[in-house]
Amino acid sequence: MNRMIFGALATALLLAGCGQPPPPPAPQKFAVQPGELLHFVPVAEKLVALSFDDGPSDPCTRQLLEVLAREQVHATFFIIGANAEKHPGLLKELVAAGHAVGSHSYSHPRFDQSTPAQIREQIVRNDAVLEKLTGKTPVLMRPPFGLYGPQYFEICRETGHIIAGWSASASDWNPHTPEEISGALLDQLAPGAIFLLHDGKETNDGPHRVASVQAVAQLIPQVKARGYRFVTIPELQAAAVAPPAVFAGGAQLLGVQWPERTAASKGVAIRMHWQLPAAFVRSSAHVWVTLAGAGGPFKFDCGLPHGGDVWKETETLKVPPPAFQPGSYAMSIALSRGNRNWRHLPCSGAWTRESKAAAVPQPFVVAPNRTVEASP
């Protein structure tokens, strides 16, 4: 904690100085260490990862395994230890089928309402259960409900766990049809995305996730038709390339994505996936998105993701399509810090434009009928 405070103070002093901060070094291959969050991976291929929480559960885990086997897709399952003890055969079956396993605590408590000792006990106890049943201790650890708790990052660093988040969710824990679930995930499809779904409901058996299973059966063929390949989260990590833009202060822009939208849509959600160091003060930063083209440029500003749990690391900017004339727009993203006098931070990487902004290679295209073409 002292090192975190010192890092934040050092960063603030640097950025408060008279001159601009120095340009960041050229980014290397994206990587995360134990105690850090993994929620999106910059990749050079059209790869995406399916992940499932709260299993193994009867009957939905078995139904899901049948769908995945039929589609020849491997996924990552975040296992609750108490459920694994009830259904050891299901756990061994999914491991034998080539799926990856991560930890989701022993009994699925809220970590934000737990003590550090309780959090550690949940993680360590689940590790013991999974090591006994699978022969391996998981490296990935996804907190129940996606919520952090006191000293959670420090505990995961000490226990050797990478914190597993996600970049795409359909809120399938709420009542939704399979079509609604699959459609919501398709809207968030991007190379390097991690999809969140469920094959169980906490520590309860029952047909709670039948709609999720049916949604996966619909989703996989549609994603494949767009040229994507499904991999496990460890395989996604292994395919990582350098972040396309790294800004002074350590903020990394990992990817940008937007879904196709028609003229009748109220707005287009431009989703920016960031990786932010613990010392980076989010409240004093602004993101500037510029769309240069017919009738433009159009400039929009928003804040950085406010963090707090694994849900809040992707920032969504909504822009109204009727504001644009048909045509192709070049998108650039700049990051600035300050109180009154905003200063753009230097950046480096494959998307860098004159060290001041990230130039997104995929154009933002508005067709004559004002349909916005989706990002790849």
Asked if residue 22 has a cis previous peptide bond (ω within 30° of 0), the answer is no
* Mean pLDDT (whole number) for 175-191: 95
Query: Are the CB atoms for 65 and 71 separated by under 8 Å?
Result: no
Q: Of residues 39, 53, 74, 273, which has the active-site annotation?
A: 53
pLDDT at 19: 52
Please name the fold of domain 37-238. Answer: TIM Barrel (3.20.20)
* Mean pLDDT (whole number) for 98-124: 98
Q: How confident is the model at residue 16 (pLDDT cuts 50, 70, 90)?
A: very low
* Mean pLDDT (whole number) for 120-134: 98
pLDDT at 279: 84
* Mean pLDDT (whole number) for 79-104: 98
Question: Is a pLDDT exceeding 70 seen at residue 22?
Answer: no
pLDDT at 328: 92
Question: Is a pLDDT exceeding 80 seen at residue 52?
Answer: yes
Catalytic residue check, 198: yes
Terminal-to-terminal C-alpha distance of the chain: 40
The CA distance from 319 to 301, in Å, is 10
Q: How confident is the model at residue 369 (pLDDT cuts 50, 70, 90)?
A: confident
Q: How confident is the model at residue 73 (pLDDT cuts 50, 70, 90)?
A: very high
Largest CA distance in the chain: 63
pLDDT at 344: 86
| Domain pair 37-238 / 242-366, same fold | no
pLDDT at 324: 80
> Structural domain boundaries of the chain?
37-238, 242-366
Catalytic residue check, 74: no
The CA distance from 189 to 257, in Å, is 8
Q: Of residues 74, 87, 104, 198, which has the active-site annotation?
A: 198
Give the architecture (CATH level 2) of 242-366: Sandwich (2.60)
